[in-house]
Structure 1
Amino acid sequence: MRLSRYFLPVTKETPADAQIVSHKLMLRAGLVRQTAAGIYAWLPLGQRVLKKIEQIVREEQDRAGAVELLMPTLQSAELWRQSGRYDAYGPEMLRIRDRHDRDMLYGPTNEEMITQIFLGNVKSYRDLPRILYHIQWKFRDEVRPRFGVMRGREFLMKDAYSFDLDEAGGRHSYNRMFVAYLNTFARMGLRAIPMQADTGPIGGDLSHEFIILAPSGESEVFYHSNWEKAPELSAVDFDDVAGLQSIVDGYTADYAATDEKRDADREAAAGEALRQSRGVEVGHIFFFGTKYSGSMGMSVQTKDGTNVYPQMGSYGVGVSRLMGAIIEASHDDAGIIWPESVAPYKVGLVNMRVDDAACSAAADDLYRKLESAGVETLYDDRDERGGAKFATMDVIGLPWQLIIGPKGLEKGVVELKRRATGEREELSIDSALKRLGAA
């Protein structure tokens, strides 16, 4: 993409209403713009990152055996009355009434709807177990939206729901999602700590929040220092019940809990290894048994002919919130530093002298070769000062910057900069293309 044709409204100034790093940089880098309190438009660069994050989430859900569908944003209030949550949920739920005077709501979550859709269409043990998920916009009317997309009112969320015949199967589904979440966040360059957490209005007695440590986090968290060097996951067999349970046991052996679920005995046992910090929640999983299937009277028939209410769980990932969490974890004074897995473009190609015919011809040729090789490239072909171009590239945080100018061309070299380290080196054009995977 040529920057001269793109819509990228970067700014030099830090917005006065932005309180945390991710909010400041998302505005400065032209990723989002606020349209109402807690509601954001996703501009082209931000949309590309959002889609990359969404795709990683989707791939890991699919790998764990979940099946994708898509549910609507608007829901009937009658479903929520059946489960008893319509009045209990609180003012965060946006309640509306249609032209026929029917009570509706803008979905903050989908336990009731998925229960009706799935269990309303299956009656036999042969249809279980299943995990269904979708990636959809939600709305929660926060009393005080703040921190940009980290605590907005409208947000993109992946929510999954498991259905099993018995508790053992339900806990295995829970473990599937537990491990899938660890894989998801690791692919984005994040170390997420699963912490025992309160179940809140979702319900149930088993719940973990996945927390990214960050000074700006809304949660007070406590954890064993071993979490600071937690190992990465190896290959996982999601059908191996014992193996999956072993992984989960290993990850929960070291203490980690949100403020609501602190355990004085385990904290005492941790001793000097106990750490306290703030964190950002990027995922939350729940196992709540028959709370929804039972309250809505939806059963299935077992192999011996008896009817049981399926055991259920729900599993959420804040897809749009993850963008803020990644920036909180990966930035410097100059701007964002995107991990390659979610970067909007892999390389920023900078033409230092668009008024120099030879320089522009060489830059155009480089751009064509990068594009032909499938290397996502943002080409700064604007008639701007070099300093302004470098500032733009630094603030938007692409992993690589490829800089071409008349002096380098005379020597037969271009400059390649790695954004994460600031390391620069002069290379021949062919070597630079090879380094970037274009030759």
Structure 2
Amino acid sequence: MLRRIQVLPWIHTAYDISIAVLVGFAASRYGEECDQLIGWAMALALVFRRRRPFAVMGLVAGLALVQYVLAEYPDPMLASAPAAYDAALLVAMVSVVTHARAMWHIWTAGAVVLLGVGVEAGFGLPGARDAEGDVFSLVAFGGVCTALWLTAMVLRTRRLYVASLEARAATAEREREHLVRLAAAEERAEIARELHDVVAHSLAVMILQADGAGYVLKSDPGKAVSALKVIGDTGRDALADMHRIVRVLRSGRKVSGVIEDPDTETGRLRVSMDDLETVAERARAAGLKVDLVVEGVRGGLSTADQLTVLRVVQECLTNVLRHAGPGARVDITLRFCKDVILISVVDDGAGKLAGSARAAAGTSGGNGLVGMRERVEVSGGSFSAGPRLGAGWQVDAEIPVQEPPLRTKG
């Protein structure tokens, strides 16, 4: 395509030179004193008809007027009129109609040609040698010039239409590429949220349990065994989630769409509100004092809503573990209303890591808060998080309830 674009100007130049040579050759067949000078001047002007169509039209029309005057008034006459090289005037008119940008240039070019036809037919300047009007010539040549002008207008309209289609196609292609880039960015963000939720929460629980098991290994082997069991269960769940995400990436399916389908045989995650108790229990095993309160009926929620609620609560507990540490108290309140889910997670900031680490978290705005905000906003809800007066942290989320998809048999 690029090679074609580069070669096309050379073809146009060769075509214009060929027309100019033909006009000059036609002028050379006339023997009056000024015919060749006028004809070759017209021919030379046609070489630039694509670059300056209206200027070329004016120059050729002026030369045609000089030709008419030299043919009608001097005795003997110094030029032939009409002559074959007068076709340069028609070529210049077509060039204006085809290439000019202003419409008044196009109408002016047509009017000049029709005026020239009228002058040549004998309805022109007073005192000319051939001053008798020839209506037949006026109608015949005027009709031919009008038909040529209309044909050029049709070609111009078609060329502009094709150009507009090409512009639309190019715009559509750019928009399509932009949408692909946006979809890829959205997909990467969803994958990043999933990986962060799985890895950050699981590793936080496993690290704290491992530290605790190492601390009480000799003094209280029973607690160490319990902590190791929590580590194993958490690791297996995290590994299962990682396998699921890897299968999704290999199959090229959309992460959010895959999660919403509870078919575990295809590597898709089954999520229910019962997992909240498991998440809270693991946080308690890691040293947090978790109080989970559920108000209202929590049945009939779509898988996407259940997953959003679970991930928000899970991430809040992970942040408390990381920034406040064991010993902090966390109050989780879930209110299931008719068309909205209200989530409130409040901690007292009284853990072993409270202080400088929690202050730094308040100003950093890590991936966990960003991921929770994106999840809630994708569901059409609202999200807010920030430090409380005194000590601690509070997270509030409001998630509109979506109707679960209907499943058909068969």
TM-score between both structures, scaled by the size of structure 1: 0.20
Give the number of the structure whose residues are more often helix, by fraction: 2
Q: Which has the greater radius of gyration?
A: 2
| Higher RCO, Cα 8 Å, sep 6+ | 1
TM-score between both structures, scaled by the size of structure 2: 0.21
